[in-house]
Chain A
Amino acid sequence: MDINVKRDADRSIIEVSGDIDLYSSPKLRDTVLDLLGKRDQKSVIVNLSNVDYIDSSGVASLVEGLQAAKKRSARFVLVGLKEGPRRVLELTLLLNVFEVHATEEDALKA
């Protein structure tokens, strides 16, 4: 899994590519919490359009991001969900808990 972060003054876009699993999810968690914590971002968009697979540890990392964002009144958004990750979020009853958009552009306009 690779992570690329595009960061403005108070907004970040995390572009993830590859599988998010027990091996790779700590890197995603650290990135998300660093942006929302130390770097005090007001909006974090996670682009998952190049992610075919996410497991429960990856879902837990996203949930931690959402909770950290809520604590700071920041925005935490998922975009580009493919069928597999979307299904995992549906099964874990979390799809409606996140703000989800089709693309980064849609998220930025919303």
Chain B
Amino acid sequence: MPGEVELTIASHPRWLRLARSVVQDYCAALDVPDTQTQSIVVAVDEALSNVMKHAYGGDCSKLVSLSCSTHGNELEFEIRDEGAAFNPLDHDVPPPDELRSGGRGLYLIRAIMDQIEYRRDGDSNCVRLSKKLDTPLGSA
């Protein structure tokens, strides 16, 4: 099912800012509180960055798509790419510490979002991030 807002960007990190602004505006249109929006933007940005770094291995010529939708009182963000299989749930994410150089992106996604689902759909990775809202949609 298509989302309410859909965005496809090239897998170049220069487009992350655009994706963040779309997520921010989507949340604003739904009156999601600013503090929750800030966190959601971080999680979606990290998921898109993971696609660029891991699924595409830095190849900037591919495409990543983001679909934003609501389900009841939850926001849902689906990220799709056609890169190498990369299941964020396969990776152990211990709490970050000062000495670790990586792994904080996945840690942030898990700390912020309520649910993370992954499926390999043919040649595509599909990651779905869900967040239950502190304030019911439409109540602001």
Tell me, yes or no, whether B14 is within 8 Å of chain A by CB: yes
- Give A92 to B16 CA distance when docked, in angstroms: 21
> Are the C-beta atoms of A55 and B101 separated by less than 8 Å?
no
Tell me, yes or no, whether B45 is within 8 Å of chain A by CB: yes
> Are the C-beta atoms of B16 and A56 separated by less than 8 Å?
no
Which of A55, A60, A83 meets B42, CB within 8 Å? A55
Residue of B whose beta carbon sits closest to that of A82: B38
Tell me, yes or no, whether A64 is within 8 Å of chain B by CB: yes
**A93-B105 CB under 8 A given contacts A21-B13, A21-B49:** no
Which of B20, B35, B98 meets A53, CB within 8 Å? B20
- Give A88 to B105 CA distance when docked, in angstroms: 10
Residues 36-50 of B, flagged 1 when their CB comes within 8 A of A and 0 if not, give 001101100110010
> Are the C-beta atoms of A93 and B53 separated by less than 8 Å?
no
Count, chain A residues at interface, CB 8 A: 23
Residue of A whose beta carbon sits closest to that of B13: A23
> Are the C-beta atoms of B105 and A55 separated by less than 8 Å?
yes
- Give A59 to B103 CA distance when docked, in angstroms: 11
Contacts of B107 in A (CB 8 A): 56, 91-92
Residue of B whose beta carbon sits closest to that of A53: B20
- Give A32 to B104 CA distance when docked, in angstroms: 20
Q: Pull 28 A–B residue pairs with CB atoms less than 8 Å apart, ordered by A.
A: A19-B20, A22-B16, A22-B49, A23-B12, A23-B13, A23-B14, A23-B17, A53-B41, A55-B45, A55-B105, A56-B46, A56-B104, A56-B105, A60-B101, A60-B104, A63-B101, A66-B98, A67-B99, A83-B38, A84-B38, A84-B42, A87-B38, A87-B39, A88-B108, A91-B112, A92-B107, A93-B95, A93-B97
With A22-B49, A57-B105, A97-B98 already in contact, 8 other A-B pairs whose C-beta atoms are closer than 8 Å: A23-B13, A55-B46, A60-B104, A63-B98, A64-B101, A84-B38, A91-B108, A92-B104
Interface, chain A (partner B; CB < 8 A): 19, 21-23, 53, 55-57, 59-60, 63-64, 66-67, 83-84, 87-88, 91-94, 97
